[in-house]
């Protein structure tokens, strides 16, 4: 596509909020709290912060710089570094095809809970209610279809009229609601216990594994490893704006939302004396249980699920956009056709993923149901692999100095050391850990 016809963002704030929308998602509000709980609270937090501002930041900056330079999809971006590297772009699209169906399935569950929270009472058995719902053959599918088609509509309207407008509305609302809800939770009895747990470092719990988990969390949370910032960066028209101006706020917001999520969830959990490391079921079982038993709790529960829905939606549209940009740039399709085509693929794949909780639960690959297999494949293999290939391509194959992300010489040098040495070494370790080889 030539630069004159290529779509572009309407404003700097628009790109920033769209990119922050991609980063802020279930990773912050759902995965971060239980990961922190399982890894020793405050000490995990310290490592998570360190990793976010070194490796996370480096990869986000590298991706965005590539996109802003090449102004095309990830295939062309890596092809610009070396023609033989085009395949990495294909890998990015493949990863989006794996993540989007199962991420949207969880999005559909959240949509369902926005409605369901009103019909729940303290007499409800929340555990059974959730597993029955997830296993039923029809209900979760309907919510999943509605959620996915909803995200598709935003992408259908394009960069400026769809993604940018949606993010500009959604992100501020999300932030305000999150502050309101955190404020309410901090007023609960014994809320302080939760805050202390969250911030007090317990360095005796600091093991090699904590380090790996923190790294994995950063990867998922800032959305690196599948060309999202290459894709979003490719629509930046304004050549005067620098990578760090656009992307620094993204990392800061991502970390801030994780901190707010911790300040909302730990006090609630401690105040009600429920197990702090309930894991993935925390948001669908433990939290609704808490919400229905506080004054106006259903209203706050509703707010909570609306926040989750908004956060998940801005992340889903970024996953969508990677594939759509690829189909437009490489296959010369119109945006509209690309959106319809990719939605059809995801609806089809997602149907099987949803049924893996019920009718297809007997069908396992490597001992895992389809949903778990998709999550494992994406988070433990494809994303770190995408990140590693990005480091090698930018740090080693591209002549250094051609991808300037900082004006300040010392910062630029730090970026180069990180992308060449620190990030790849850590990623290899996570990859080995994910594959249970170490």
Q: Which residues bind ligand TRP (CB under 6 A)?
A: 22-23, 25-28, 220-221, 223, 225-226, 228, 315, 318-319, 383
Instruction: Select 152 or 294, whichever has its Cβ closest to ligand TRP.
Output: 152
Instruction: Select 307 or 319, whichever has its Cβ closest to ligand TRP.
Output: 319
Instruction: Select 218 or 327, whichever has its Cβ closest to ligand TRP.
Output: 218
* Whether the Cβ atoms of residue 175 and residue 318 lie closer than 8 Å to each other: no
- Least distance between ligand TRP and beta carbon 410 (Å): 29
- Least distance between ligand TRP and beta carbon 61 (Å): 16
Instruction: Select 384 or 424, whichever has its Cβ closest to ligand TRP.
Output: 384
- Least distance between ligand TRP and beta carbon 383 (Å): 5
- Least distance between ligand TRP and beta carbon 378 (Å): 7
- Least distance between ligand TRP and beta carbon 23 (Å): 5
* Whether the Cβ atoms of residue 354 and residue 140 lie closer than 8 Å to each other: yes
Instruction: Select 18 or 405, whichever has its Cβ closest to ligand TRP.
Output: 18
Instruction: Select 210 or 314, whichever has its Cβ closest to ligand TRP.
Output: 314
- Least distance between ligand TRP and beta carbon 118 (Å): 26
Instruction: Select 221 or 271, whichever has its Cβ closest to ligand TRP.
Output: 221
- Least distance between ligand TRP and beta carbon 125 (Å): 29
């Amino acid at each position: 596509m030539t630069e004159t016809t290529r779509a572009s963002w309407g404003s700097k704030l628009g790109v920033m909020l769209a990119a922050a929308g991609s980063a802020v998602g279930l990773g912050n509000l759902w995965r971060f709290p239980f990961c922190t709980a399982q890894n020793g609270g405050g000490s995990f937090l310290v490592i998570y912060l360190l990793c976010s501002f070194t490796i996370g930041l480096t990869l986000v900056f590298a991706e965005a710089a590539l996109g802003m330079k090449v102004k095309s999809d990830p295939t062309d971006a890596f092809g610009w570094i070396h023609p033989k590297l085009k395949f990495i772009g294909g890998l990015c699209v493949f990863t989006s095809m794996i993540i989007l169906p199962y991420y949207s399935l969880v999005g559909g569950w959240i949509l369902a809970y926005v409605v369901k929270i009103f019909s729940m009472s303290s007499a409800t058995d929340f555990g059974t209610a959730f597993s029955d719902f997830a296993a039923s053959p029809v209900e979760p599918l309907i919510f999943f279809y509605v959620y996915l088609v909803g995200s598709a509509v935003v992408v259908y309207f394009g960069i400026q009229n769809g993604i940018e407008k949606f993010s500009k509305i959604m992100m501020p609302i999300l932030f305000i609601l999150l502050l309101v809800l955190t404020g309410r939770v901090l007023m609960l009895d014994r809320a302080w216990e939760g805050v202390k747990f969250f911030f007090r470092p317990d360095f005796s719990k600091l093991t090699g594994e904590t380090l790996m988990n923190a790294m994995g969390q950063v990867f998922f949370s800032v959305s690196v490893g599948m060309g999202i910032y290459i894709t979003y960066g490719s629509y930046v028209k304004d050549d005067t704006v620098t990578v760090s101006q656009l992307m620094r706020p993204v990392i800061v917001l991502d970390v801030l939302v994780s901190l707010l999520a911790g300040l909302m969830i730990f006090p609630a959990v401690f105040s009600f004396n429920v197990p702090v490391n309930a894991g993935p079921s925390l948001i669908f079982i433990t939290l609704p249980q808490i919400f229905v038993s506080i004054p106006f709790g259903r209203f706050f529960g509703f707010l909570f699920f609306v926040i989750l829905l908004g956060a998940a939606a801005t992340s889903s549209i970024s996953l969508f956009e990677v594939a759509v940009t690829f189909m437009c740039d490489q296959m010369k399709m119109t945006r509209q056709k690309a959106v319809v085509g990719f939605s059809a693929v995801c609806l089809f794949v997602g149907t099987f993923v949803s049924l893996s909780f019920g009718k297809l639960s007997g069908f396992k690959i490597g001992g895992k149901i389809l949903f778990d297999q998709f999550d494992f494949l994406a988070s433990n293999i494809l994303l770190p692999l995408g990140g590693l290939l990005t480091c090698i391509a930018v740090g080693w194959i591209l002549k250094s100095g051609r991808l300037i992300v900082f004006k300040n010489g010392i910062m630029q040098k730090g970026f180069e050391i990180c992308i060449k040495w620190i990030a790849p070494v850590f990623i290899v370790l996570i990859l080995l850990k994910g594959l249970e080889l170490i």
